[in-house]
Amino acid sequence: MAVFFRGSQNLLQKLKNHVSFANVSSRAMASKTPVGFIGLGNMGSHMAKNLLKHGYPVFASDIFPESCKEIQDLGAQVLDSPAEVADRADRIITMLPSSPNVIEVYTGLKGILKKVKKGSLLIDSSTIYPSVSKEMAKEAEKMGAVFMDAPVSGGVGAASSGKLTFMVGGVEEEFTAVQELLTCMGTNVVYCGEVGTGQAAKICNNMLLAISMIGTAETMNLGIRLGLDPKLLSKILNMSSGRCWSSDTYNPVPGVMEGVPSANNYQGGFGTTLMAKDLGLAQDTATNTKTAIPLGSVSHQIYRVMCARGYAQKDFSSVFQFLREEENQ
């Protein structure tokens, strides 16, 4: 799995110091107060395990009993509903598939807000609409709690190894408290501004990523047709103004780089269907704010057609293959 977010030396110093501190303090487990965790899917289960590893008692909940079983065996206490988690822990992390799930888990009949304690810190790491994050923050505030959005970048591999990046939106005063928990699960925790801006940052990054990936794919394709060696073209782009992450770190052309999905038949990495989902969020958000995103829109459509044509599960860099004329045409 590729890491989609890299820390710059200067920004990370503080975080690294904090991680050292966390390691020290993790020896003194007894003193740690419990953390709630709701949503034990592919990502969430790894994240909850990393909390346990760092010595936090975890109260967990999920609608699928089998997901609960695994974490229970590792020492977490499983509860029946988000409401009960809120009754037992005043710091809760949620990791859910999409906006409607978040709404249900927070404001549903057995939702967090039914039993949330005053002063609780609620951190949502789901990737959802910024507007839903804002709505949840308002509802939490009515109950005297604080809601922050903290979507992740990095995939299942990074979740497992504790190397996620978190983009955090919400009241700045709570950021230190948020950092304490999130650094157990990730190497970068970036403060983005008021609630919803974590989502906004993630959406923006992934939209530009999609655009530059498709751009790199069609540029490499054109260059190859014009007689350029792909490795050489890639070198020229990377020392020039065409340089981008998709050309210098995650090149979509087989044979140009090692250790990226294009070197492995586009297996692993970040699936086309996930990129299409994120571009859908960008599209809706742009439509609602009346923002023109011409290349973002076309990129969205290209990934949508790719999903329809059998590329849904391949890495999103497979757009190089999709655009290229087949040999025997």
Nearer of residues 263 and 286 to its own copies, judged by Cβ: 286
Beta carbons of 319 and 217 less than 8 angstroms apart: yes
Beta carbons of 101 and 43 less than 8 angstroms apart: no
Annotated catalytic residue, options 49, 134, 202, 314:
202
- Report strand pairing: 121-124 vs 152-153: unpaired
Which three-class secondary structure string do you get for 24-40?
HHHCCHHHCCCEEEECC
Burial of residue 226 (CB within 10 Å: 0-12, 13-18, 19+) is exposed
Shortest gap between Cβ of 307 and its own copies (angstroms)? 6
Shortest gap between Cβ of 94 and its own copies (angstroms)? 21
> Residue 143 is encoded by which pair of tokens?
């109950």
Shortest gap between Cβ of 118 and its own copies (angstroms)? 27
> Residue 188 is encoded by which pair of tokens?
């970068």
Shortest gap between Cβ of 120 and its own copies (angstroms)? 24
Nearer of residues 24 and 226 to its own copies, judged by Cβ: 226
Nearest 10 degrees: Cα torsion 173, 177, 180, 186: -70
Nearer of residues 11 and 29 to its own copies, judged by Cβ: 11
- The Cα-based distances of 130 to 121, 230, 282, 284, 286 in angstroms read 18, 40, 10, 11, 11
Shortest gap between Cβ of 312 and its own copies (angstroms)? 6
Q: With b meaning 16 or more CB within 10 Å and e meaning fewer, what string describes 4-14?
A: bbebeeeebee
Task: Identify the CA nearest to 186 among candidates 166, 209, 214.
Answer: 166
Nearer of residues 86 and 233 to its own copies, judged by Cβ: 233
Beta carbons of 162 and 50 less than 8 angstroms apart: yes
Beta carbons of 185 and 162 less than 8 angstroms apart: yes
Nearer of residues 181 and 319 to its own copies, judged by Cβ: 319
Shortest gap between Cβ of 308 and its own copies (angstroms)? 4
Nearer of residues 12 and 263 to its own copies, judged by Cβ: 12
Annotation marks residue 277 as catalytic: no
Residues annotated catalytic, as ranges: 202
